[in-house]
Amino acid sequence: MEYKHIIKTVEPGSIGDELEIRPGDRLLSINGQEVRDVFDYHYLIDDPLIQLVIEKPDGEEWELEIEKDPDEDLGIGFENGLMDDYRSCSNKCIFCFIDQLPKGMRPTMYFKDDDSRLSFLQGNYVTLTNMKDEALERIIHYHLSPINVSVHTTEPELRCMMLHNRFAGRLMDQLARLYEAGIRMNGQVVLCKGINDGAHLKKTIEDLARFMPMMESLSIVPVGLSRFRAGLYPLEPFEKADAKDVLDLIEGFRERFYEEYSTHFVHASDEWYLLADRPLPKEEDYDGYVQLENGVGMLRLLHEEFTEALGGSYKAPQGFHRLTIATGCLAAPFLEKLAADFNRRYPDIQIGVRAIKNRFFGERITVSGLLTGQDIMEQLKDVSLGEKLLLPVNVLRSGEDVLLDDIHVSDIEKTLQVPVRIVQSNGQDLLRALLFQ
């Protein structure tokens, strides 16, 4: 098979730039070996002395010898980040959110990835069910870590049912092989009421704890249920009492693990604490925020960063000002508390926090990351928003200024007749936005 690794970007001042590698060039080999994908590439360029063969657009081949530090990158990026075709998921998980999307959305929204290479590159969570033994051996051979694993349950029959995949029951054997090879791992459980909670969750935590310290952390997140579930497996939303039970179980383990291993290991996502109406854990209880990408500790980190920034020397604009923050229903009370802290320091800036109900996906979806432009515009069209509207960055698709329903930020500005400021997920940027900076 011929691999066409077309170079898309070259960082200025990088090794690739100094060697006059340019976008449009094609990587043919490294150290005489054909490069199949990103696994091969990262492994081969780790050598301090490497030989690259590059083909220029006119067909001329360049042989380049490079001497560098072992962990030094070449500064080149490829048209395809994986340097190979993306591998789609063959599972039919009972909780899959993509199966709960309505028809008519952008085609890329319906692509299910379960590619282990994305776990290594971007931190994506993979089930390992779509991974052949050869791919697992490549991870071990190249010693690529961490690998982030969507566990959901460690009971073979239950996992096969939840993922609707007859190979899903091999998980513990796969994790054991990674553990023995010294591959670092993180785990994730999407919790479904009456399915993998209670005694099943207890067993999952106990089973995965046996792989510490290579299994570095485990997050527990509640299933997201949209209104587009006709014909899908019947699932129920978690209520306040359920959230309290989940937290009681998790926190019992956290105390024990910290006493024995100096790590809390298992973490509940922020939604559980908000739903149970319980205080968030202290910052030191998040073990360095090891599961931020799963919504574990994001609100605590925001609070700590915002509080620290609020104690700084930021100056407020002169005069009286008004603005509005729009967010999901779950986080709105939390942001109202931050706004109250802000007003004690800056009383001349009035902040309105608006909780946007998710009518597009259904009001069971309460997180801001699944808000749509049409819901924001419809629910704010008759609201006096002040001088600007703040939206969290997670309402946007990664790297774009468009929301999940293809509504652009400019569309919201035009409809609501107010400037929109996208706030990054840190407390300093939130404070600057509130101060019109």
Amino acid identity at 142: Y
Instruction: Give CA–CA dist 338/43, Å, rounded.
Output: 46
**Beta bridge partner(s), residue 322:** 350
Which tokens go with 62?
A: 């360049």
Note whether 332 and 353 are within 8 A (CB).
Answer: yes
- What is the per-residue pLDDT for 68? 84
CATH of domain 5-78: 2.30.42.10
pLDDT above 50: residue 396: yes
Tell how strand 49-55 and strand 26-30 pair up. Answer: antiparallel
- What is the per-residue pLDDT for 251? 96
Tell how strand 185-191 and strand 215-222 pair up. Answer: parallel
- What is the per-residue pLDDT for 113? 55
Which tokens go with 260?
A: 């024995």
CA dihedral 136, 141, 144, 145 (to 10 degrees): 70
Question: Per mean pLDDT, which of 81-95, 253-267, 386-400 is the most reliable?
Answer: 253-267
CA distances to 55, 97, 193 from 385, in Å: 56, 32, 39
pLDDT above 80: residue 273: yes
CA distances to 114, 268, 394 from 295, in Å: 20, 9, 11
Instruction: Give CA–CA dist 68/49, Å, rounded.
Output: 6
Please compute the mean of the pLDDT values over residues 378-385 and round it to a whole number.
96
**119: pLDDT confidence band, cut at 50, 70 and 90?**
very low
**Between 84 and 284, where is the model more confident?**
284
Reported pTM? 0.82
Which tokens go with 407?
A: 């509504």
pLDDT above 90: residue 348: yes
- What is the per-residue pLDDT for 85? 55
- For the chain, which residues make up each domain, given as ranges? 5-78, 98-295, 303-434
Instruction: Give CA–CA dist 261/213, Å, rounded.
Output: 9
CATH 3.40.718.10 at 98-295, yes or no: no
Please compute the mean of the pLDDT values over residues 272-292 and round it to a whole number.
94
Which tokens go with 136?
A: 């697992």
- What is the per-residue pLDDT for 300? 96
Note whether 392 and 327 are within 8 A (CB).
Answer: yes
DSSP letter string, 386-414 = TT-EEEEGGGBPTTSSBBTTS-BHHHHHH
- What is the per-residue pLDDT for 41? 79
- What is the per-residue pLDDT for 349? 96
For 76-94, how does the pLDDT look when each residue is reduced to its tens digit (9 = 90+)?
888 766 555 555 567 789 9
Q: Which of 305, 264, 294 is nearest to 281 (CA)?
A: 264
Residues in the chain: 437
Please tell me if the domain spanning 98-295 has the same topology as the one spanning 303-434.
no
Tell how strand 321-328 and strand 349-356 pair up. Answer: parallel
Which tokens go with 203?
A: 């067993």
What residue has token string 């609100």?
299
Our measurement of the distance from residue 68's CA atom to the centroid of its chain's CA atoms, rounded to an integer in Å, reads: 32
- What is the per-residue pLDDT for 116? 47
For 25-36, how does the pLDDT look when each residue is reduced to its tens digit (9 = 90+)?
988 888 888 887
Instruction: Give CA–CA dist 46/40, Å, rounded.
Output: 10
Which tokens go with 252?
A: 């019992």
CA dihedral 123, 129, 133, 139 (to 10 degrees): 10
Interior angle at CA 148, CA 145 and CA 152, nearest 5:
150
Which tokens go with 409?
A: 């930020």
- What is the per-residue pLDDT for 269? 96
- Count the Cβ atoms, other than its own, within 10 Å of residue 398: 7
**38: pLDDT confidence band, cut at 50, 70 and 90?**
confident
- What is the per-residue pLDDT for 81? 61
**Beta bridge partner(s), residue 149:** 126, 187
For 146-203, how does the pLDDT look when each residue is reduced to its tens digit (9 = 90+)?
888 999 999 999 999 999 999 999 999 999 999 999 999 999 999 999 999 999 999 9
CATH 1.10.3470 at 303-434, yes or no: no
The SS3 call for residue 422 is strand
- Count the Cβ atoms, other than its own, within 10 Å of residue 171: 25
Whole-number mean pLDDT of the chain?
Answer: 89
